[in-house]
Structure formats: structure tokens, C-alpha cells
Amino acid sequence: MRAEACRAPTIAAVPGIVVTRAEVVRAAETIRGSVRRTPLLDGSDIASGLGLKAELFQHTGSFKARGVRNRLAGLDADEHARGVIGISAGNHAAALAWGAREVGVDCVVVMWRSASAYKMARAEAYGAVLDLEADNPAHAFERLAELVAESGRVVIHPFDDPVVMAGQGTVGLELLEDAPDTDLVIVPVGGGGLVAGIAAAVTSRGVRVVGVEPERSAALAEGLRARRPVPIVPQTLAGGLDAPFAGTNALATCLAHGVESVLVSDDEILDATRLLYADVKLAVEPAGAAGVAALLAGRLEARRPVVVVSGGNVAAETASDILRSQ
């Protein structure tokens, strides 16, 4: 382990639910046929032995569809009738709207006014009703609580529902099948649900898991250090990695499975985004490039690493601006 990586002790030191590998395996059975099995691409032009788990090819353009379908599959008749509600800067919003449409459930998503207009439009196109009363992520969580109290809708949490986390963990099962000799899985992190689910799936097989966050949006790193959720004010260009805290259950699962954390700058993320466009021909959003950024910056080393390219939802204008700038 390099000095830049912060290793969490293998103890569930927060009062949360720890997701297990068995739950991830059950999730894989539940969602089989309703989500795509995404490819593991050759990334050896970027780093020796590198595999790229291409979750930007998933339904709605990100890994979020997995957790959503697993959670929606468990709704009973009463919950189905009440409808669902979520909160998201964009990728969970689109996935929840898509999943709700697929199973015939009414859907509301709380977003904030500064979120990506492109991602708002995608969620609406899939059928969600958007609530835009909040002006930042922290206020949006307050707004979510208000709407749940008023409406009785079922909350589908973007990163701290254990059932959602188990669904996200199916990424780990697939990459182990395609790269059984991998020794490191590198995962972009917002609120911690994806990295927690993947850790539950792979660490018992001797695989190290590292979460990568922007330096100024380090909810997981702060939470691992404090062993509890720590509110932050995220400041990053990588929308999707801007959760205002890491979830209690996500932290418990990360701590139990020994997840590590490293930080990268926004400039490093943008450099990785350009590289993935140019060399691998992946139209990735900045959040999805964070894992590659950590490798390029020399913060992680492994013999057979796999990076999760978590999403590709970025407006054409934004992508063009990133590619033009250096």
C-alpha cells in the first residue's frame, strides 16, 4: 500500500448495516435480465494490466440502474401504490425514473437548482416528476424529509439503502468473473454506496478495494476517519461525486470490508476524462474518470487493477469544454 492511501480498519465502527457477499449474490439473481452485464475493457494503453469495467454502458448510462432495480423488486403492493421518491444530482434520478417506469410505479425525484440541467432533462424524459425547491445538496435532503412526511412515498436512497448497495455490488461479481486475478478494484465515490457494495462482493476473495474522491468533496474519507457520517460542503466539477455526506450503512460496510480512500484534484479528474475520450474512446463523465485519475497521478499501484468507469452522463457542451481545455 502506498502512503497516499488511507486504509480503514476492518471493523464496523459505526452503527449501521453491513452488506454481505451473500446479499450481493441474491441481488444478482434478482436483477438478472433487467440490467445489462457490462463489459470489462482492456485499459493496458493507460496502465499495465488495467481493466476498465464500463458501467457507462449500463441502462441510463451509469451503475445506478442496478441498485434501483434490486430495491424496486422488493416493493409490496401498498408501497407500489404509494409511489417512490429519491434524491439525486442526476444519475440516480435517471435510474430511478427509468426503473419506476419499467415496473409501473409513480416517481418523484428531489434535485437542487444548481444540478446539471442535462441530467434533470434525462430524469424527466424517463418519467420522473422533479422537485427543485432546494438550492444545494444539504437542503435537498431536508426537502426530501418534508415530502416523505407529506406524501408517504417510499424512499429509494441513492447510496445508503442496503438493498440498493447490494445491487450496486453486482458490478464486483461481474468483474471477478471477467478478471479473476485482479488484485485491486478502484471505485469513484460520492456517498459510498457503490464502493461499499463492490467491497462486499470482492474483498472476501482477497481483493483490495479503494474509493477515489475529489479533494474538495471527500465525504467517504472524512467518514472513515471519524467512523461516522461527516457533513461536508462538496466543491467539485465532478457532479455525481458531490454527496454532502457518506451514508451510515455505506460507512459500516466500507469499514467492515477494509475499504481504503484516496483523493484526487479536479484537474486530475479532467485530465483522466480527456485521456479516456482520446485513448479508449469512452464518452465518460468526469465522475466516472476519477479512478483512472488516481492511477495516472501515481497514487495507486497494482499488478492487475480494475477501475470502475461508473458513468457517462455528461452534456455535450460540457464534454466539449473539457476536451478543448488543457
Per-residue pLDDT of the chain (326 residues; tens, 9 = 90+): 333 454 433 334 567 999 999 999 999 999 999 999 999 999 999 999 999 999 999 999 999 999 999 999 999 999 999 999 999 978 999 999 999 999 999 999 999 888 888 889 999 999 999 999 998 888 998 999 999 999 999 999 999 999 999 999 999 999 999 999 999 999 999 999 999 999 999 999 999 999 999 999 999 999 999 999 999 999 999 988 999 999 999 999 999 999 999 999 999 999 999 999 999 999 999 999 999 999 999 999 899 999 999 999 988 888 889 988 86
- CATH top-level class of 65-155: alpha beta
Identical topology for domains 6-63+162-324 and 65-155: yes
> What pairs with residue 108 in β-bridges?
85, 129
Helix/strand/coil (H/E/C) assignment for every residue in 130-192:
EEEEECCHHHHHHHHHHHHHHHCCEECCCCCCHHHHHHHCHHHHHHHHHCCCCCEEEEECCCC
Q: Which three cell numbers stand for residue 93?
A: 434520478
Q: Name the amino acid, one letter, at 186.
A: I
Q: Which CATH architecture has domain 6-63+162-324?
A: 3-Layer(aba) Sandwich (3.40)
Nearest partner of 213 among 230, 184, 234, judged by Cα? 234
**Domain boundaries along the sequence of the chain:** 6-63+162-324, 65-155
Please enumerate in sequence order all residues whose Cβ is within 8 A of that of 12, keeping only pairs 6 or more positions apart, or say none: 18, 252, 253, 255, 256
- Asked if residues 116 and 89 have their Cβ atoms less than 8 Å apart, the reply is yes
Q: What is the DSSP letter of 88?
A: -
